[in-house]
Amino acid sequence: MLKTMFPTIERESSMLGFGCMRFPCTPDGKIDEAEAIRMIRHAIDNGVTYIDTAYPYHGGESEIVVGKALQDGYREKVILATKLPCWNVHKHEDMMAILDEQLQKLQTDHIDFYLMHAMNAQRLEEMQGYDYKRFLDEAVAQGKIRYPSFSFHDGYDAFMRILDDYDWKMCQVQMNILDDENQATLRGIREAGKRGIGVVIMEPLRGGLLANPPADVKAVYDAFPDKRSPVEWAFRYLYAMPEVVTILSGMSSWEQTIDNLRIFDIPGRPVLTEAENALFRQVKDTYMARMKTGCTGCRYCQPCPMGVAIPHIFQNYDATRLRAEPNYSKGYAKVIADEHDASRCVQCGQCEAACPQHLPIIRYLQEIHAECCGE
């Protein structure tokens, strides 16, 4: 198992982290506890030392199962991370009450990395209003948490504001082959690294998207002389980054656990060759070429006078196009049900005049509507 070190705090971790958001489930939707515990313990027995969960995962049951899995001496073998559900905080005292509840569910007296969950620009202001810094300082002083951290979903500017706001020990960000310019961005990851803040990666496979590439992307991989699975390539792209300490994998089956352990069974962090970097650029370009609109979601076209949800339609359609078997019809049916579909467009042109990308919005709306409705 590839081992790394969190900077500043000098805490060793496995590069592979066990993400506990996608446990195997029984037919009725409940966590298959026995299998989840078997997977977690097998991963720990084979070198995984980072376990990540959160208050809302699996309807609040993930922390309970993780707590059970870490009995019998397993808690002492791992770095345990969980997250404060900021949206459940309505006054300062709520934060400590939630943390105490989590400690009980996890059957432990302390959390190693305690994250402010899904931070963004708006949430930062809200948590500042609740004096989150005082809460974190008190929780550390009481020994309930060791390393204050945050997870993030927003843009680069918001990431930097949050990074500047507290003495963070770790940040958890979304990153993969397709997201180097999205959310925190590669630039943000590098800035965190300069400050000695360890970076933990979530969504390395873009919710499983990168594990099952479309035929044209698969052909790019197949043409490369070094043969690896798309999953292994996606992880390799990330664990070559010097700022990255741990990569979370939401393992939902025994087979995925075994495969992940194999992929991370390497002697040291690799350095990508020029050919490999070129491969990743070609893979991203091939994915991006599948997108129809390239809408960035800036929302300059909103509000539409007829209520057409232009950015929603475009971005969800483009996301679907990245899949091996693209089909946006089901998602578009909900847009129709919500009365925000393209049939309401009267071609006034207001959106096209406002679009900074100069997209042919009216034509795209007509084409997407026709495709999804079989017209």
Residues 67 and 192 in one domain: yes
Say if 303 falls within a structural domain. no
Residues 319 and 277 in one domain: no
Say if 293 falls within a structural domain. no
Find the mean pLDDT for residues 68-83: 97
Say if 173 falls within a structural domain. yes
* pLDDT category of residue 82 using cuts at 50, 70 and 90: very high
Residues 157 and 220 in one domain: yes
Say if 299 falls within a structural domain. no
Report if pTM > 0.85. yes
Residues 12 and 81 in one domain: yes
| Higher pLDDT among residues 328 and 83, named by residue | 83
User: Which residue in this structure is represented by tokens 């809408």?
Assistant: 295
Residues 225 and 360 in one domain: no
Counted domains in the chain: 2
Find the mean pLDDT for residues 311-318: 90
Percent of the chain clearing pLDDT 70 (strictly above): 100
Q: Give the span between the Cα atoms of 127 and 86, in whole angstroms.
A: 7
Last residue of a domain, one of 229, 264, 282: 282
Percent of the chain clearing pLDDT 90 (strictly above): 85
Longest dimension (CA), the chain: 67
Say if 294 falls within a structural domain. no
- What tokens were used for 29? 């939707």
Say if 296 falls within a structural domain. no
Q: Give the span between the Cα atoms of 284 and 279, in whole angstroms.
A: 9
pLDDT at 209: 87
Find the mean pLDDT for residues 95-122: 97
Residues 245 and 338 in one domain: no
Residues 9 and 151 in one domain: yes
pLDDT at 128: 98
User: Which residue in this structure is represented by tokens 């590098």?
Assistant: 190
SS3 content of the chain, % helix, strand, coil (to 5): 45, 15, 40
pLDDT at 219: 96
Task: State the DSSP string of 68-124.
Answer: HHTTTTTGGGSEEEEEE-GGG-SSHHHHHHHHHHHHHHHT-S-EEEEEEEEE-HHHH
Residues 65 and 132 in one domain: yes
Domain CATH code at residue 224: 3.20.20.100
Report whether pLDDT(371) > 80: yes
Report whether pLDDT(337) > 80: yes
Report whether pLDDT(317) > 80: yes
Helix axis angle, 361-373 to 329-337, nearest 10°: 110
Q: Give the span between the Cα atoms of 170 and 4, in whole angstroms.
A: 14
> What is the SS3 assignment for 32?
coil
Q: How far is CA 19 from each of CA 50, 113, 200, 204, 314, rounded to the nearest angstrom?
A: 9, 14, 11, 11, 30
Per-residue pLDDT reduced to its tens digit, 111-137: 999 999 999 999 999 999 999 999 999
Domain that holds residue 94: 3-282
Say if 295 falls within a structural domain. no
Residues 161 and 213 in one domain: yes
Per-residue pLDDT reduced to its tens digit, 258-309: 999 999 999 899 899 999 999 999 999 999 999 889 887 888 899 999 999 9
Q: Which of 96-100, 210-214, 229-233 has the lowest mean pLDDT?
A: 210-214
Say if 305 falls within a structural domain. no
Find the mean pLDDT for residues 338-363: 93
Candidates 58, 45, 73; CA nearest to 19 is 58
Residues 167 and 222 in one domain: yes
Averaged pLDDT of the chain:
94
Report whether pLDDT(375) > 80: no
Residues 244 and 119 in one domain: yes
Residues 74 and 210 in one domain: yes
